[in-house]
A and B are shown apart, each in its own frame.
Chain A
């Protein structure tokens, strides 16, 4: 066992996967700060049960506040060894099929989505990288459409694919500072998008998934945890965790 605890910031620590990552990291002995936007109750619950040292409110759309929030999180951790980025557009109750197609897409809906999914990620990376002074891991959660052709809303796919490209580029520029940047692309899970997709699409996924089932949150959280704590030489990769599609 290591003598020192790894200090990890989980951005988007109040979502289903983010919260599971916080708990998995804590179970491995890491010191964790979880950021939240809307999920204050979940994030504070993680602090309450001792999984997170602190919960910080961060709106990724507010770049200045983001920088301050990241600094505060790093201060409370006493340094930073890794970042797990799980933030994204919160699953709404709107069925994903209702999201715009190529024909119905408007510049406004595109901008809104890109702002949260990509602008937030880019400036979060800008805010965290200088704090990884001794090197470390940045792990970004994405979904399967980042890597494989699956029926998915155009807005989502564009953002997910961009995450993989961004990780490849950041891996190159941050690598000399001993910072590894990777993406974990999750297949369809028992929670999240599978609840919003038409039943026929979910059935289709399961039928084509070699594992023959949806994934569990724990299974994605474990991979993110390994990459945050253990990885020393995987860099710039998009690792797909989908049961085999």
Chain B
């Protein structure tokens, strides 16, 4: 892996972050915003002057930190302690946002978990928990938010998948299966709701510094970096910037698409 110093230097060589995305005042809900990629997505959206609400399941401290970072950027975001798998709570949140905000224009299904377990040690409960968080969550949240989008005949949904759902990797099989399920959800939903001018896409990151990558054994991280053409892990910020583009009007003809962001594995 390239030393961190060098990665920083490489990042400075690009012109990223200056493209006008037209997200000002867009009402966006991000699930799982108390840490990692979800927090970075909230930050990039706030920097684009979008109105940001995020959910989190349990981490009050992390949610406060996200709020603090967003406030620093001048954004008064909403943090909602709602488990994305809880249909009643999520529908109640959708109603609140409908009433207080006039509804949500962009939904980013980011909340997800992973678990480093080999297939032989996996039991049915592990499978259920993974599927519950990574597939039931996006289903429940999308269904709750889509009602308003359909009524307004406008909306964008972005599902955060994973390279493990697109390529043959030595990744936990229940995690890979759940992320592949998001690809199916993305495509079928894009087909069904595009008649209401709603777009649905999926962003599939490879290994990133921090986040689920922390659960990956070091030898596999080294293997990833050695096979990645860019020779490094990705960062939350660069994936978050792609997410912001994919929910902006600048990508208005992208629909039902899965964009892999893995540095070239």
Q: Which A residues fall within an 8 A CB radius of B?
A: 1-2, 4-6, 27-30, 81, 134-136, 171-176, 178, 180, 187, 210-212, 215-216, 219-220, 222-223, 225-226, 229-237, 239-245
A216: nearest chain-B partner, CB-CB: B253
Inter-chain contacts of B264 with A (CB < 8 A): 171-172, 175, 180, 235-236
Instruction: Let me know if B18 is at the binding interface, CB within 8 A.
Output: yes
Which residues from chain B contact A220 at a C-beta distance below 8 Å? 253
- Complex Cα distance, B184 from A221, in Å, reads 28
State the CA gap A4–B16 with chains docked (Å).
11
Name the contact of B194 in the complex, choosing from A212, A229, A231 (C-beta under 8 A). Answer: A212
Residues of chain B within 8 A of A29, CB atoms compared = 18
Which residues in A have their C-beta under 8 angstroms from that of B229? 171-176, 235-236
Chain A residues in 8 Å Cβ range of B19: 28, 225-226, 229-230
Q: How large is the interface on B (under 10, 10 to 19, 20 to 34, 35 or more residues)?
A: 35 or more
State in angstroms the CA–CA spacing of A239 and B255 once bound together: 11
Known: A134-B13, A171-B229, A233-B238. A215 touches B253 (CB 8 A): yes
A211 touches B255 (CB 8 A): yes
Which of B33-41, B104-112, B150-158, B244-252 has 4 or more CB atoms under 8 Å from chain A? B244-252
A231 touches B255 (CB 8 A): no
Assess whether B13 is in contact with A135, with CB atoms less than 8 Å apart: yes
Residue pair A241, B253 in contact (C-beta under 8 Å): yes
List, sorted by A's number, 30 A–B pairs whose CB atoms are closer than 8 Å. Answer: A5-B15, A6-B15, A28-B20, A30-B15, A135-B13, A171-B229, A172-B229, A172-B264, A175-B263, A210-B194, A211-B255, A223-B251, A225-B250, A226-B19, A226-B245, A226-B251, A230-B15, A230-B19, A231-B242, A232-B241, A233-B234, A233-B262, A234-B259, A235-B263, A235-B264, A236-B229, A236-B264, A240-B257, A244-B190, A244-B255
Bound form: Cα–Cα A220–B263 in Å: 22
Report yes or no: A244 in contact with B194, Cβ–Cβ below 8 A.
Answer: yes
A226 to B239, CA, bound (A): 13
Within 8 A of A (CB), among B190-215: 190-191, 194-195, 199
Q: Which residues of A contact B218 (CB under 8 A)?
A: none
Tell me whether B256 is interfacial, beta carbon within 8 Å.
yes
Whether A233 touches B263, Cβ cut-off 8 Å, given contacts A134-B13, A175-B231, A180-B230, is: yes
The interface residues of chain B lying within 8 Å CB-to-CB of A237 are 259-261
Q: Are B255 and A243 in contact (CB under 8 A)?
A: yes
Nearest CB on A from B36, distance (A): 16
Q: Is the interface of A mostly helix, strand, loop or mixed?
A: loop
Shortest CB-to-CB span from A228 to chain B, Å, is 9
Contact indicator A187/B15 (Cβ below 8 Å)? no
**In the complex the two chains form, what is the Cα distance from A169 to B135 in whole Å?**
34
By a CB distance below 8 angstroms, the chain B residues around A232 are 11, 14, 16, 238, 241
Query: Within 8 Å of chain A (Cβ to Cβ): is B168?
Result: no
B121 within 8 A of A: no
With a CB–CB cut-off of 8 A, which chain A residues contact B14? 81, 135-136, 230, 232
A153 to chain B, nearest CB (A): 23
Q: Nearest CB to that of A185 among chain B residues? A: B257
Most buried by A among B14, B191, B255: B14
The distance in angstroms between the C-alpha atoms of A2 and B12, with both chains bound, is: 10
Q: Is B190 a contact of A210 with CB atoms below 8 Å? A: yes
CB proximity to A under 8 Å, residues B1-40:
10-11, 13-20
Q: Is B228 an interface position by the 8 A CB rule?
A: yes
A233 to B263, CA, bound (A): 5
Max chain B C-beta neighbours (<10 A), residue from A233, A239, A242: A233
B257 touches A239 (CB 8 A): yes
Rounded to whole Å, the gap between the CB of B88 and the closest CB of chain A is: 31
